[in-house]
C-alpha cells in the first residue's frame, strides 16, 4: 500500500501523503496536503481501496482515481508520485471480481437452472449478479459493489406477481403437510397484507437498508412510475392465480393425501454433479406408492424443452439424494394462467440428457473465468448485449449506463 511521505498525482494535482491508516479489509484512510498551486497547503482527507497492486482513491462520494503500485509512478519536483487516472464504477467492479473475496464467505462456483438462464439472457447481467455483487451486503463494501448488490435484489411487477403466488401456495401446502389446512379466505388476506407490505417497503425506499429481505421494485428505483392502478392489477392477477390453484382438481387431490407423503415444499436444496454444487428449489415433491411426483407451478409462458430440462434437474437430485431409487419419477406442471396441467415422466433418457446439458453448461461457465479454481471473473469476458428492448427492463441498466438512454431516470 501507499505510505506516509509518498506523493499522489490526482487530476494533475500533486498531493503529499501525511498519513496512511488501515481501516478495515481493503480500506485505508489517507490525509494529504496539496502541493500544486491550485491546492497548495490544503489538507484533504481521502479514502483508498486496495485490490492487489491496484489502488482506488476516492475524494468525493462518487469519483474514483486509480493507480497501479507496480507501474504508475511519475517523477515530480517532490519526488516520485503515484499517477492516478480517473476510474469508473465498472473499473472498480472489474478489480473487485479479479480478486478473492475479503470475507469468510467465499464466492464458490455453483450451478442452478436460473444461473444458466441468466447467462443466456445477458452475460453482463450474469457477471453483475454472480460476481460484482459479491460482498455487497457488507456496510464497508465499495459503493459500486453495494449498488450491484442492491440492483441484484430488485424485482419487477411480473416477477413479484409470481413470487406472491408461489409464497401463498407454499404456505397453503405447508399447512396441509402440518395437518392444519388453512381457511382460503385467510390465505387471500395474508396475500393482500404481504402485497401491501411489499409496496410500502419499496415505495418508502426502506428496501435499500435490507435489499435481500425487503421488496424493492425496479419501477421505484428507476422512477419509471408504478401507478397504483398497475400495482393493484398485478395484485388482482396474483389473487386470480391463487384462486385458480385453490379451486383446481390438483389441489383437491393434494388435500386428500396423507401429510407424510409431502417430501419437500419449496425448500432450497443442493446436490453434487461433476464436483459442483447444484442448487434447486422444487415447488413440491410428493411420494405416492412407488412414484415420486415433482410439481412446478407456472404463472408465465413456458417452453416445453426448457420445462423438461428444469424438471429433469429435480429428477437428478432425487435420484442422487434418495438412493436406491426404485420409485418412478413423474413431473406435474400446473400452468396457472391456463388452468392446465402437463405431466411427463422423468425417465432415464431425460435424466441423462439433462445431466449432459448441465455438465456442458458448467464447463462453459467455468471456462469463462479468469481463475476457475478461485472463481474469479474478468468483466471483459462478459459482454453487454445489443438488444436495448431487453436492457429497458433490466435491473442492472444503471451500471451499463443504459438507464438514461432509455429516458427512464
Ligand atoms: S442493461 Fe442490458 S447489457 Fe446491461 S446487464 Fe442489463 S441486459 Fe445486459
216-228, pLDDT tens digit by residue?
999 999 999 888 8
Instruction: Indicate whether 11 pLDDT > 90.
Output: no
Q: Residue 407's pLDDT is what?
A: 41
Instruction: Indicate whether 406 pLDDT > 50.
Output: no
**For the chain, what percent of residues have pLDDT higher than 70?**
97
Instruction: Calculate the dihedral angle through the C-alpha atoms of 147, 152, 156, 161, rounding to the nearest 10 degrees.
Output: -140
- Is residue 215 within 8 A of residue 202, CB to CB? The reply is yes
- Cα distance between residue 37 and residue 214, in whole Å: 50
In this structure, the residue with its CA closest to atom 7 of ligand 1 is: 391
CATH assignment of 255-346, given 3.50.50.60, 3.90.320.10, 3.90.950.20, 1.20.1250.20? Answer: 3.90.320.10
Mode of pairing for the β-strands spanning 110-112 and 276-281? parallel
Q: Is the beta carbon of 390 within 6 A of some atom in ligand 1?
A: yes
Instruction: Indicate whether 396 pLDDT > 50.
Output: yes
Q: Is the beta carbon of 402 within 6 A of some atom in ligand 1?
A: yes
Determine the 3-state secondary structure of 182 from DSSP: coil
Question: Which of 274, 300, 281, 303 is closest to 366 using CA atoms?
Answer: 274
**For the chain, what percent of residues have pLDDT higher than 90?**
85
Mutating to test ligand 1, I would choose from 128, 383, 400 the residue with most ligand atoms within 8 A of its C-beta, which is: 400
Confidence grade of residue 50 (pLDDT, cut at 50, 70, 90): very high
Q: How many CA atoms lie within 13 A of 128 on its CB side?
A: 27
Q: Residue 1's pLDDT is what?
A: 84
Q: Which atom of ligand 1 is nearest to the CA of 385?
A: 3
Model-wide pTM > 0.85: yes
Instruction: Indicate whether 253 pLDDT > 80.
Output: yes
Phi, psi dihedrals of residue 18, rounded to the nearest 5° = -90, -35
Q: Is the beta carbon of 98 within 6 A of some atom in ligand 1?
A: no
More confident residue, 364 or 59: 364
Q: Where in the chain is the domain with CATH 3.90.320.10?
A: 255-346
Confidence grade of residue 400 (pLDDT, cut at 50, 70, 90): very high
- Cα distance between residue 72 and residue 81, in whole Å: 8
Confidence grade of residue 408 (pLDDT, cut at 50, 70, 90): very low
> Other CB atoms closer than 10 Å to residue 182's CB: what's the count?
16
Question: Which of 265, 269, 339 is closest to 295 using CA atoms?
Answer: 265
Q: Which atom of ligand 1 is nearest to the CA of 400?
A: 4
CB burial class (10 A; 0-12, 13-18, 19+) of residue 269? middle
Instruction: Indicate whether 409 pLDDT > 60.
Output: no
Rg value, the chain, Cα? 26
Amino acid at each position: 500500500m501507499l505510505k506516509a511521505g509518498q506523493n499522489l498525482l490526482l487530476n494533475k494535482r500533486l498531493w503529499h501523503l501525511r498519513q496512511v491508516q488501515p481501516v478495515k479489509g481493503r480500506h485505508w484512510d489517507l490525509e494529504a496536503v496539496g502541493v500544486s498551486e491550485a491546492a497548495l497547503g490544503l489538507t484533504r482527507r481521502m479514502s483508498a481501496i486496495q485490490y492487489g497492486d491496484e489502488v482506488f482513491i476516492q475524494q468525493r462520494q462518487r469519483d474514483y482515481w486509480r493507480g497501479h503500485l507496480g507501474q504508475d509512478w511519475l517523477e515530480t519536483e517532490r519526488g516520485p508520485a503515484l499517477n492516478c487516472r480517473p476510474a469508473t464504477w465498472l473499473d472498480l467492479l472489474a478489480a473487485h471480481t479479479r480478486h478473492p473475496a475479503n470475507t469468510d464467505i467465499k464466492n464458490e462456483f455453483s450451478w442452478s437452472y436460473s444461473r444458466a438462464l441468466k447467462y443466456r439472457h445477458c452475460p453482463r447481467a450474469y457477471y453483475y449478479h454472480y460476481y460484482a455483487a459479491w460482498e455487497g451486503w457488507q456496510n464497508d463494501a465499495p459503493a459500486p459493489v453495494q449498488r450491484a448488490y442492491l440492483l441484484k435484489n430488485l424485482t419487477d411487477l411480473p416477477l413479484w406477481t409470481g413470487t406472491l403466488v408461489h409464497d401463498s401456495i407454499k404456505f397453503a401446502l405447508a399447512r396441509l403437510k402440518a395437518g392444519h389446512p388453512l381457511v382460503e379466505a385467510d390465505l387471500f388476506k395474508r396475500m393482500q397484507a404481504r402485497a401491501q407490505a411489499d409496496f410500502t417497503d419499496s415505495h418508502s425506499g426502506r428496501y435499500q437498508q435490507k435489499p435481500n429481505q425487503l421488496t424493492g421494485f425496479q419501477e421505484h428505483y428507476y422512477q419509471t412510475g408504478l401507478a397504483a392502478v398497475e400495482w393493484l392489477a398485478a395484485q388482482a392477477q396474483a389473487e386470480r392465480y391463487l384462486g385458480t390453484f385453490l379451486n383446481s382438481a390438483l389441489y383437491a387431490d393434494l388435500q386428500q393425501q396423507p401429510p407424510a407423503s409431502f417430501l419437500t415444499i419449496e425448500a432450497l436444496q443442493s446436490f453434487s454433479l461433476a464436483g459442483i454444487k447444484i442448487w434447486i428449489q422444487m415447488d413440491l415433491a410428493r411420494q405416492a406408492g412407488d412414484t415420486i411426483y415433482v410439481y412446478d407451478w407456472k404463472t408465465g409462458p413456458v417452453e416445453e424443452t426448457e420445462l423438461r430440462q428444469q424438471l429433469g434437474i429435480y429428477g437428478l437430485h432425487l435420484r442422487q439424494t434418495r438412493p436406491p431409487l426404485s420409485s418412478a419419477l413423474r413431473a406435474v406442471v400446473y400452468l396457472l394462467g391456463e388452468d392446465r396441467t402437463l405431466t411427463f415422466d422423468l425417465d432415464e433418457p431425460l435424466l441423462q440428457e439433462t445431466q449432459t446439458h448441465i455438465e456442458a453448461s458448467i464447463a462453459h461457465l467455468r471456462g469463462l473465468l479468469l481463475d476457475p479454481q478461485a472463481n474469479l471473473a474478468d468483466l471483459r469476458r462478459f459482454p453487454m448485449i445489443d438488444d436495448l428492448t431487453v436492457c429497458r427492463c433490466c435491473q442492472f441498466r444503471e451500471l451499463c449506463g443504459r438507464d438514461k438512454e432509455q429516458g427512464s431516470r
